[in-house]
Amino acid sequence: MGHGVHLLAYADRFGGSLPALRGLLAAPPLDVFTGVHVLPFFLPFDGDDAGFDPIDHTVVDPRLGSWDDVAALARVRHVTADLIVNHVSAASPEFRDWLALGEASAHDGMFLTFDTVFPGGGTEADITAFYRPRAGLPFTPYQRADGTRRLVWTTFMPTQVDLDVHHPAARGYLEHVLRALAGAGVRTVRLDAVGYAVKTAGTDSFMTAATLEFVSEIAAMAHRAGLEVLVEVHAHYTQQLAIAERVDLVYDFALPPLLLHSFGTGTVDRLVRWLEIRPTNAVTVLDTHDGIGVIDAGPSGDRPGLIDHDEMAAIFRRAEAATGGISAVASQQVAWARLPHQINSTFSSVLGADDTAYLTARAVQLFLPGRPQVYYVGLLAGENDVALWERTRVGRDVNRHHVAPGEVEEALERDVVRGLLALVRLRTEHPAFDGEFRYAQTGADGLELVWRSGEARARLAVSVAGARPTFALEWTTAEGTRRATSVAELAG
């Protein structure tokens, strides 16, 4: 897997285009990143769901560049891109053709309708059993040109129409997209929203046995195209463990809420429990374009979580206090749930813009086995973009800031940003991270993470006691051992 650190960014919001993003990553100090996950750059990148509703998944939006620009980036960095598995835009040529021609369309059967899942009709209990990451029911009525009306599955938004992933027309579409990505040099494909892709009557249709089987099938399809597979699923930790065995990479979405729990309670036992069982083929994150997952560490039905429901609620309350109430109004409620499934906020804002706490969390993330990934807003230690959220009323926009010209240079003047880049460079370049990893709990409130390869050694000690978490970092160099216990020392 390697121990380099990857960046997660929108080309339009960080740089402004694919060539500009490549330019940022080619020059110091951002050249320390060995890879980049470019969030949807397809046509259009600025649709109803910030690119996750492609009209044409095989066309690069010309406002951002071209496939040649993707290929140019892929020649110098490991590129990850999204395969949006569950749905396409209602404005896509395929869906519009089906609306126009109905059963005569070459795309007939590609889109999931109500009667595909319930050929004999569905009861109220059947329909309300489905898990949906939004309020309400997952159907939208569409009328075809001949006047027939169909209920189409729309798990996320009315303009995002779900694919029938078992139908040959949908399979052919997905294979076509995979070939386009591989042809441009993309090395890792992220299966977006795959946990919702298979609807099975009589279940909640989220991460079921049928879903896992489909994940294996789509992963095999990607492997045939020469692509590594990363799965994105916000789910009970046992489901992450199960899916990790079927793909190359999964996200460690449990880490962020467990760190927030430790920082808020002054205890590390729940975090240590996760270290005992977490998959090592993980992409480690603190923040992403989708917010900070909390349900990933919590209970589900009769299955206990790494933290319980009250502890989850406490994380949301602390975030609300730290963000001046913004996270509470920006976070979206899941259908039938008592709590949101994620916190819409930057990670820095959730920590009250405390730079020491922020770098402590980042140090833990960057010391864990797996592939660390830093979101572009987190790279700049950004705080909530309240003005953007107030303008769009899209909760996740508080953490999707448009970085203006000059903002990167301005951010690099801050100790916290230079300190984070020092941690990234340490993880990317220090030979200890090629070796063996061990961890130890040091009392109720302490944690030690150590990497060693021969004489090379890197050690992180974390304490969550007192009013704020603290870190002590030491690593070997040719001149001896260096140490840092503050933001300023790391930045220096």
pLDDT tens-digit readout, 342-358? 999 999 999 999 999 99
CATH number belonging to domain 93-162:
3.90.400.10
Provide the pairing of β-strand 342-343 with 292-293.
antiparallel
Domains of the chain, by residue range, sit at: 6-85+165-431, 93-162, 436-491
Per-residue confidence (pLDDT) for residue 358, from 0 to 100: 98
* HEC-encoded secondary structure of the chain: CCCCCEEEECCCCCCCCHHHHHHHHHCCCHHHCCEEEECCCEECCCCCCCCCCCCEEEEECCCCCCHHHHHHHHCCCEEEEEEECCEEECCCHHHHHHHHHHHHCCCCCCECEHHHHCCCCCCHHHHHCCCCCCCCCCEEEEECCCCCEEEEECCCCCCEEEECCCCHHHHHHHHHHHHHHHHCCCCEEEEECHHHCCCCCCCCCCCCHHHHHHHHHHHHHHHHCCCEEEECCCCCHHHHHHHHCCCCEEEECCHHHHHHHHHHHCCCHHHHHHHHHCCCCEEECCCECCEEECHHHCCECCECCCCCHHHHHHHHHHHHHHCCCHHHHHCCECCCCCCECEECCCHHHHCCCCHHHHHHHHHHHHHCCCEEEEEHHHHCCCCCCHHHHHHHCCHHHHHCCCCCCCHHHHHCCCHHHHHHHHHHHHHHHCHHHHCEEEEEECCCCEEEEEEEECCEEEEEEEECCCCCCEEEEEEEECCEEEEECCHHHHHC
pLDDT-based confidence at 2, cuts 50/70/90? low
pLDDT tens-digit map of 105-127: 999 999 999 999 999 999 999 89
pLDDT tens-digit map of 155-192: 999 999 999 999 999 999 999 999 999 999 999 999 99
Per-residue confidence (pLDDT) for residue 466, from 0 to 100: 86
pLDDT tens-digit map of 57-82: 999 999 999 999 999 999 999 999 99
Q: Which one has a higher pLDDT value, 391 or 466?
A: 391
Per-residue confidence (pLDDT) for residue 407, from 0 to 100: 96
Integer Cα distance of 41 and 51 in angstroms: 7
pLDDT-based confidence at 336, cuts 50/70/90? low
CB 428 within 8 A of CB 4: yes
Per-residue confidence (pLDDT) for residue 327, from 0 to 100: 95
Catalytic site includes residue 232: yes
Per-residue confidence (pLDDT) for residue 133, from 0 to 100: 81
List the catalytic residue out of 94, 192, 311, 355.
192
Per-residue confidence (pLDDT) for residue 408, from 0 to 100: 96
Per-residue confidence (pLDDT) for residue 3, from 0 to 100: 72
Per-residue confidence (pLDDT) for residue 457, from 0 to 100: 98
Per-residue confidence (pLDDT) for residue 150, from 0 to 100: 96
* Average pLDDT estimate for 79-91: 97
* Average pLDDT estimate for 368-384: 98
pLDDT-based confidence at 337, cuts 50/70/90? confident
Q: Give the pTM.
A: 0.96
pLDDT-based confidence at 335, cuts 50/70/90? low
Q: Which fold has domain 6-85+165-431?
A: TIM Barrel (3.20.20)
* Average pLDDT estimate for 364-392: 97
CATH number belonging to domain 436-491:
2.20.220
Per-residue confidence (pLDDT) for residue 131, from 0 to 100: 85
List the catalytic residue out of 232, 290, 354, 383.
232
pLDDT tens-digit map of 303-312: 999 999 999 9
